[in-house]
Amino acid sequence: MKNSGTFYIVATPIGNLGDISMRAIEILRTVDFVLAEDTRHSGNLLKHFDIKTKMLSLHEYNEKDRCEKIITLLKSGINVALICDAGTPLISDPGFYLVKNLQEENIKVVPIPGACAAITALCASGVASDKFIFLGFLSAKKTARLKELEEYKNMSCTMIFYEAPHRIFETISDMATIFSPQRDAVIARELTKIYEDIKRGSLEELLLWLTMDTNNQRGEFVIIVSKEEKENINENTNALNVLNILLKELPLKQAVKIASEITNANKNDLYKIALKQNLDLCQTE
């Protein structure tokens, strides 16, 4: 929108203050207002860099109420920056509702890139990073959390989660139950801070690591879980044996369906094998 102010989305450090960019500091110094999730927490950051810009709170409880006021300020030519407690705003933090409305009003939105815990953990994890999905925080309630994990069980890409210290053990335990104890994963704790720790192993091994020292359950957590490694169906002798037995007694589709349910093998793979066996049988008769 012509003559309106600019809205900046500014990434801040996730721990080490040295990770802030020069551009971020310049923007925070020159805008008219800084929106912060927790003004007391972010006030310390601004004070450290001698930034005296006025602050306004923006959190999940007041975002919708603040939205109209912020749009009015921007339309009058005021420049505003948004920061969160740590890292990149809107990544499991407030701001989506506001930014959506700003885009609809054609107000200029400018991202100032920087630290993000999810990406920081992924690049150091040793887990495949060519294809991944960010899933944020799981439900705090166990039943809902287990249901969510069941939906993610067969993901064909790396999964990234955030978790709070008081739920880290329960969450890893639930992942081991749903994904299997042997699924490869990484716990990244206190990234860029003094007690930074990046631990890789099976979910079973990570559970043991969490219990070995209670300090391992403290801090800010990123959990990275590897994609499901599908077993080569031709090497799954149990599934092939079950399929062959059922094919002697049942129609092809029914045999495939039951074999898949019994062995948890991929139904499409079993169907291709069963179909090929039928064709081979027809050719020999």
* pLDDT higher than 60, residue 138: yes
The residue-averaged pLDDT of 217-229 equals: 93
Query: Exposed, middle or buried by CB within 10 Å (0-12, 13-18, 19+), for 95?
Result: buried
Tokens standing for residue 267: 């139904």
Strands 7-10 and 80-83, by their bridges, are parallel
Can you tell me the distance from the alpha carbon of 138 to that of 234, in angstroms, rounded to the nearest whole number? 36
Q: How far is CA 262 from CA 248, 255, 257, in A?
A: 16, 11, 9
Given this model, what pLDDT does residue 140 score?
A: 96
pLDDT mean over 176-180: 93
* Cβ-based burial of 118 (10 A; exposed 0-12, middle 13-18, buried ≥19): buried
| DSSP-assigned letter for residue 14 | S
Alpha-helical segments (H) within the chain = 22-30, 39-48, 63-75, 96-104, 117-125, 142-152, 168-179, 203-212, 237-247, 252-263, 267-284
For residue 228, the model assigns a pLDDT of 80
| pLDDT over 60 at 238, yes or no | yes
Q: Is the pLDDT score of 21 beyond 80?
A: yes
* Cβ-contact 130, 24 below 8 angstroms: no
CB 14 within 8 A of CB 86: yes
Dmax over CA atoms of the chain, in Å, equals 88
pLDDT for 232 equals 60
Q: What's residue 230's pLDDT?
A: 60
pLDDT value at position 66?
A: 95
Give residue 72's pLDDT band: very low, low, confident or very high (50, 70, 90): very high
- Model pLDDT, residue 281: 47
Q: According to the model, what pLDDT value does residue 278 have?
A: 64
Beta bridge partners of 7: 80, 109
Return mean pLDDT, the chain: 92
CA–CA distance, 93 with 248 (Å, rounded to integer): 57
Q: Residue 280: pLDDT above 60?
A: no
Segment 91-96 mean pLDDT:
96
Contact 223, 161 (CB under 8 A): yes
Residue 283 has pLDDT above 70, yes or no: no
Dihedral (CA of 72, 75, 78, 83) sign: positive
Burial of 18 (0-12, 13-18, 19+ CB in 10 A): exposed
At position 195, the amino acid (one-letter code) is: Y
